[in-house]
Amino acid sequence: MMLNRRGGGLEPTELTDRYPEPGQIRVAVGACAVCRTDVHVVDGDLPPPRFPIIPGHEIVGRIDAIGPGVDGLHVGDRVGIPWLGHTCGTCAYCLEGHESLCDRPLFMGYTRDGGFATSVIADARYAFPLSNHGSDEVLAPLLCAGFIAWRALTSAGPGSHLGLYGFGAAAQIIAQIATSRSRSVYVFTKHRDKPTQARAKQLGATWVGEASELPPRMLDAAIIFAPDGAVVPQALRAIRKGGRVVCAGIQMSDIPGFPYQLLCGERQLVNVSNLTRLDALDFLRVAAKVGIVCETTPYSLQDANRALADLRAGAVAVAPVLIP
């Protein structure tokens, strides 16, 4: 499904077979989850990508062709391919081990063709081996929601009382990991969204309320997935001295002005918007150990525009996943 212009809908497109170049693999797509970032790409909220582009960056499938110079992967292996699809390996950030800040990255479904397709070409370094446990559909949301959730959780620190603003796929994954480690989770939703709040309680949340409310106790840390900058001051009000607020999204509306007092007491405000390969490998091990469960809603590949519309409108409470 091809995006040919900024703000346009996706259009079915037949392409000739593509073959992997050195260091690349080709993957037959089994499932590709639909992420909020895909909505931002299609709606033109991010700086325009090259056109045409195939969106999609939560990809699970099996390798069906391998380019020269690829070691450790084989035809038939099941792999997952995330948002960060390539780094240069030579800039100062890459050389320092901070590949998430690479100066010349490529992103699946944004600056290189992604997984809203029957097959995809990927950098073999950014294709992560998956076991045969679990369906492609259930695993697909782990490839973005899971990875960014894990990086946000580790950035938030080990505090016992954790707030989650927004309760989509990533926050639901965090809740499962946090509660498995006996941490208390406090969930904030935009409105009295009963299905979402019920899901939060089902996953063990200690408290559920609206983003405008304060929790019953001060939090050690808070992670914001809601793309609303107005949530930031509210989260700062909810954390204790020395606490941390983590903004865990690629796109967020402007943060309004707030009193300096909200930062006093050595409170911290940080951002996480990318991953590293080490994050991915660490998370996949934890996910297998915890037994992360992602609820999904399947859509056919031809229904990609409907899946995006449902996610945009908040009409789907669990992760939408395209099945070619």
- 153 plus 236 within the same structural domain: yes
Q: What is the pLDDT of residue 207?
A: 98
Domain with residue 90: its CATH number is 3.90.180.10
Each residue's pLDDT tens digit, 290-303? 999 888 999 999 99
- 136 plus 150 within the same structural domain: no
- 29 plus 130 within the same structural domain: yes
- 99 plus 212 within the same structural domain: no
- 8 plus 19 within the same structural domain: yes
Query: What spatial distance separates the first Cα and last Cα of the chain, rounded to whole Å?
Result: 10
- 157 plus 253 within the same structural domain: yes
Q: In this structure, what DSSP letter does residue 167 have?
A: -
Six token digits for residue 237: 């009000």
- 191 plus 74 within the same structural domain: no
Cβ(204)–Cβ(185) under 8 Å? yes
Each residue's pLDDT tens digit, 18-48? 999 999 999 999 999 999 899 999 998 888 7
Each residue's pLDDT tens digit, 207-237? 999 999 999 999 999 999 998 999 999 999 9
Q: What is the pLDDT of residue 81?
A: 98
12 confidence band (pLDDT: 50, 70, 90): very high
Chosen domain end from 256, 271, 286: 271
Q: What is the mean pLDDT of the chain?
A: 94
On whether residue 280 sits in a domain, the answer given is: no
Number of domains, the chain: 2
- 177 plus 138 within the same structural domain: no
Rounded CA-CA distance 282/285 in Å is 5
- 151 plus 238 within the same structural domain: yes
- 52 plus 160 within the same structural domain: no
Each residue's pLDDT tens digit, 242-286? 999 999 987 889 999 999 999 999 999 999 988 899 999 999 999
Name the pTM for this structure.
Answer: 0.90
Q: Which residue has the higher pLDDT, 169 or 192?
A: 169
On whether residue 33 sits in a domain, the answer given is: yes
Q: For the CA atoms of the chain, what is the radius of gyration?
A: 19
49 confidence band (pLDDT: 50, 70, 90): confident
- 95 plus 171 within the same structural domain: no
Rounded CA-CA distance 56/83 in Å is 8
Q: What is the pLDDT of residue 192?
A: 74
On whether residue 289 sits in a domain, the answer given is: no
- 132 plus 156 within the same structural domain: no
Each residue's pLDDT tens digit, 52-79? 999 999 999 999 999 999 999 999 999 9
On whether residue 288 sits in a domain, the answer given is: no
Domain limits for position 55: 2-143+294-323
pLDDT above 90 for 314: no
